[in-house]
Amino acid sequence: MCGIVGVVSNAPVNQLIYDALLLLQHRGQDAAGIVTLLDRKFFMHKAKGMVKDVFRTRNMRALPGSVGLGQVRYPTAGNAYSEEEAQPFYVNAPFGIVLVHNGNLTNAHALRAELFSTDHRHTNTESDSEVLLNVLANELERATRGVQLHTDQLFAAVKSMHKRLRGSYAVVSLISGQGLLAFRDPYGIRPLCLGRNAEGTAMVASESVALEGLGFKFERDIAPGEAVFIDMQGQVHAHQCAEAPTLNPCIFEYVYLARPDSTMDGISVYQARLNLGETLAKRVVSTVPPSDIDVIIPIPESSRPSATQLAHLLGIPYREGFVKNRYVGRTFIMPGQGERKKSVRQKLNAIASEFKGRNVLLVDDSIVRGTTSREIVQMARDAGARKVYLASAAPPVRYPNVYGIDMPTKGELVAHDRTIEEIRALIGCDALIYQDVDAMKRAVMKAAPATAGASKFAGLEASCFDGYYVTGDIDTDAINRMNNNRPRVEETEEDASRLALPNLN
Ligand SMILES: O=P(O)(O)OC[C@H]1O[C@H](OP(=O)(O)OP(=O)(O)O)[C@H](O)[C@@H]1O
Ligand SMILES: NC(=O)CC[C@H](N)C(=O)O
Ligand SMILES: [Mg+2]
């Protein structure tokens, strides 16, 4: 899950895109980039790092034009260390196209070979997004051969792309001299929405928070399979380009990835997290008697809404026992286990008085590799807690995710092939309570307003919890191939042996 944004205005857009990327920073911390368009010429600046570090004043001055796009990257394919794989990507023909992508292609390997052998196109990085751009270029070239570019050709190109691409993709692209083309995969796995401000500037973005935070009015989500073209005058043309689109948004967006103040496909992320706390409360009481819990403490940041609701329903005091260092980013999306582990300690510090002599129930939104939980449980014990219980607002993450969350190896998942008791022993808590898969799905769907209708959803993409891959073409070979092209980071020996099961006897 990266953050993407595109803008068509009649005033300079560099600052607007920068501000939107800041609002989407939680979706990617690894690299950032902006392209603007002025008189058919693209201006680009991209580099590794957070938005505020990547763009200095001199870089901003070198981004003129009233049309542009940007991205914050969380690598899921290719090389996390490569500056070249920061987005946007550029290709010179046809017309000149730049593109940003959120998601993960599951057939990038086959497409790369096909692009070379059949389409005679060269890609120069390991990024699946560069492959995606070249497929767009190829299909656009084919659709416009011998004719003037018109919206019909743009939509025909997206239609052909849907036939070639597999996996998840929310895309924003700029076509020099023409306008902005945005589209979403036929399963609607990754989010994308559209809005406008009082001056008539149009914006597409991954999350509604980017629109609302900048004074734009949210207009609508882009539908699965739909393409939206915004011409240079700001006029929006939309067309359904997929044959049988269905809406299956990624459930992990609601659990962890998105900001709580965003609404995606009609579902408020905050309300979904409150609901998850509510259903989690039922699981907690069936495992630990509430009278045995003195205090409920969230593991900041993302678990807070679920923890407040849980505490409210159980009638147990809610306390902020961990203080978060706001200058350390999100741990889960950092590349490399060593960095993630170190960051948990740097990021969270316990207030000993909230733990001393108490039975505490710690609440997290999810437990993936178990990095956070293991450190936090130990910190709670070090701070003097008597008993440390742990509850997760999401069920065990047992299967690889191949749609844009970097957790494709089963071996990395603390819950894979382990019983709850084994996981509990590994994490080191006195009781471990997980949400149930169906309860999680119901809790998120319950946050869909009656008017928008739960009926528009075919389901929620929840493969990392239930092992069901909505695109239907994910087997062990596909997962192995993607593993071979994962963002790789050097691991220490200690990291490698980290998940070895301790002797439980
Ligand atoms: O089991 P793990 O592999 O540690 O992953 C799960 C943890 O990572 C995330 O926190 P993160 O620090 O990324 O972000 P947050 O501040 O939004 O909670 C998530 O909220 C869990 O706390
Ligand atoms: N998280 C994402 O959306 C990643 C986009 C793309 N697959 C990359 O690795 O750069
Ligand atoms: Mg967290």
CATH number of 3-248: 3.60.20.10
Give the residue ranges of the annotated binding site for Mg(2+).
302, 364-365
Whether 2 sits among the annotated catalytic residues: the reply is yes
Answer yes or no: is the C-beta of 328 below 6 A from any ligand 1 atom. Answer: no
- Report which of 176, 172, 168 is spatially closest to residue 202, judged by C-alpha positions: 172
Instruction: Label the pairing between strands 202-205 and 3-8.
Output: antiparallel
Kindly report, residue by residue over 140-153, the tens digit of the pLDDT. 999 999 888 999 99
Q: ipTM of the predicted structure?
A: 0.97
State in words which class domain 267-449 has. Answer: alpha beta
- ∠ CA(247), CA(178), CA(142), 5° rounding? 70
Nearby residues of 175 by Cβ (< 8 Å), 6 or more positions away: 95, 96, 97, 140, 149, 154, 181
Residue 194: per-residue pLDDT: 98
Residue 489: per-residue pLDDT: 57
Query: Which ligand has its closest atom nearest to the C-alpha of 332?
Result: 1
Can you tell me which atom of ligand 1 is nearest the CA of 397?
A: 1
How far apart (Å, rounded) are the C-alpha atoms in residues 450 and 177?
A: 42
Of the candidates 2, 250, 429, 464, the residue annotated as catalytic is 2
Residue type, 124: N
Instruction: Label the pairing between strands 387-392 and 431-434.
Output: parallel
Nearby residues of 154 by Cβ (< 8 Å), 6 or more positions away: 140, 143, 175, 178, 181, 227, 229
Answer yes or no: is the C-beta of 366 below 6 A from any ligand 1 atom. Answer: yes
Residue 496: per-residue pLDDT: 41
Residue 343: per-residue pLDDT: 78
Can you tell me which atom of ligand 2 is nearest the CA of 405?
A: 1
- Crossing angle of the two packed helices 128-144 and 151-164, in degrees rounded to 10: 130
C-beta separation of 408 from 479 below 8 A: yes
Q: Where are the domains of the chain?
A: 3-248, 267-449
Rounded mean pLDDT for each run of 10 residues along the chain, 505 residues in total: 95 98 97 97 97 97 98 87 91 97 96 95 95 98 91 97 98 97 98 98 98 98 98 97 97 98 97 98 96 97 97 98 91 77 85 98 96 95 98 96 84 92 97 98 92 79 96 85 71 42 37
How far apart (Å, rounded) are the C-alpha atoms in residues 442 and 421?
A: 26
Q: How far is CA 474 from the centre of its chain?
A: 20
Can you tell me which atom of ligand 1 is nearest the CA of 368?
A: 1
